[in-house]
Structure 1
Amino acid sequence: MRARIENNVLFLHHEDLPEFKKGGSVVRNSYFWALRSIAGRSRRYSDWEYESDVWLALGRMLMSFTESGYLVYRETVLEFPLSQGEIPHVLRDVATWE
């Protein structure tokens, strides 16, 4: 998922976020609700926002879904632009450069 950090807020690109689908995959829908539950802002068609207070929980959640093997790796890894600078330590296990 494309990500960026501005003013200690992590933004996940809205086009890369999972979609909730009624009657869809239980894992994918659970992933949607798990990500949404800790987001500071999660409006439809907008980037979701995560304050630094929840980055540890976000990292653990992403790692858990990655290790489950039910989702594609790219869906559970944060992809930062090279211009972002250093990836915060708490997110390094679930992040890479775009």
Structure 2
Amino acid sequence: MKAYIRDNILYINKEDIPEYQKGKSVVRNNYFWALKSISDYAPFNGDWEFCSEIWIALGRMLLFFYNSGYLGDRETMLEFEDDVLIPDELRAVSTKL
């Protein structure tokens, strides 16, 4: 998931937010609701925001869903631009583009 940090807030690009699909995969829908529940702001058609206070929880949640085997790297890893310093709390679930 493409991500960026501005003013100590992590943003996940709206195109990479998992979709809720009624009647589809329970794991993907749980993933959607779990991410939405810990976000600070999750507009319908915008980037989702996560304040730095919950980055540890976000990292643990992303690792949990990755380790479940139902979701791949592309859906559970945060992708940052090369010039971004990745915070320690997110390092285990992050990569560079």
TM bucket, shorter chain: over 0.9
Structure 2 counterpart of 1:41: 41
Cα offset, 1:24, TM superposition: 1.0
User: Would you say how many aligned residue pairs link Structure 1 and Structure 2?
Assistant: 97
TM-score normalized with structure 1 length:
0.97
Please give the per-residue CA displacement for 1:38-74, whole angstroms capped at 9, x wherever unaligned. 0000011100000001000000000000100101211
Gaps spanning 5+ residues in structure 1: where? none
Question: What is the CA RMSD across the aligned residues, in angstroms?
Answer: 0.6
Structure 2 counterpart of 1:71: 71
Gaps spanning 5+ residues in structure 2: where? none
Q: Percent identity?
A: 53
Please give the per-residue CA displacement for 1:59-90, whole angstroms capped at 9, x wherever unaligned. 00000001001012110000001132x10001
Structure 2 distance, partners of 1:4, 1:67, is 24
Amino acid at match of 1:88: P
Structure 2 counterpart of 1:89: 88
Structure 2 distance, partners of 1:24, 1:65, is 17
Residue 74 of structure 1: SS of its match in structure 2?
Answer: helix
